[in-house]
């Protein structure tokens, strides 16, 4: 990444509300839309597996156990990838250098 991109990521890391909103956006399709409330923080360990077998009206999808397992594995991998991405993002923190070579003047 170039210096401008790194600077923007450092700014983003200072805004916890925006990071929470981004997590909701990136995770909403994996969790299935509408399952998170506006105030709820995304949790990468949340159990979404039941939505793979039943629709929002409780009707069962026509899926074999093998297909259900494949879908579950794909969702789990997607969550893992998003989690890894956010962990990489959190590494971009602005470092403030303080010159300690000159003693402070006391009044």
* Whole-number CA gyration radius for the chain: 21
Helices 65-89, 3-13: inter-axial angle, 10-degree rounding: 100
| pLDDT tens, residue order, the chain (107 aa) | 899 999 999 999 899 899 988 888 887 767 664 456 667 776 554 556 767 777 767 778 888 999 989 988 988 898 889 889 988 988 888 777 777 777 666 65
Q: Taking the CB of residue 13, how many other CB atoms lie within 10 A of it? A: 16
Domain coordinates in residue numbering, the chain: 3-89
Tell me the whole-structure pTM to 2 decimals.
0.59
Query: Would you mind telling me the total number of residues written for the chain in this entry?
Result: 107
Candidates 31, 37, 22; CA nearest to 90 is 22
């Amino acid at each position: 990444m170039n210096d401008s991109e790194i600077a923007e990521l450092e700014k983003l890391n200072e805004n916890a509300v925006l990071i929470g909103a981004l997590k909701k956006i990136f995770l909403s399709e994996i969790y299935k839309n509408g399952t998170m409330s506006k105030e709820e923080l995304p949790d990468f360990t949340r159990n979404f597996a039941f939505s793979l077998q039943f629709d929002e009206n409780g009707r069962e999808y026509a899926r074999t156990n093998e297909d259900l397992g494949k879908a579950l594995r794909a969702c789990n991998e997607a969550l893992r990838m998003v989690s890894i991405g956010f962990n990489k993002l959190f590494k971009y923190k602005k470092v403030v250098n303080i010159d300690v070579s000159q003693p402070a003047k006391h009044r």
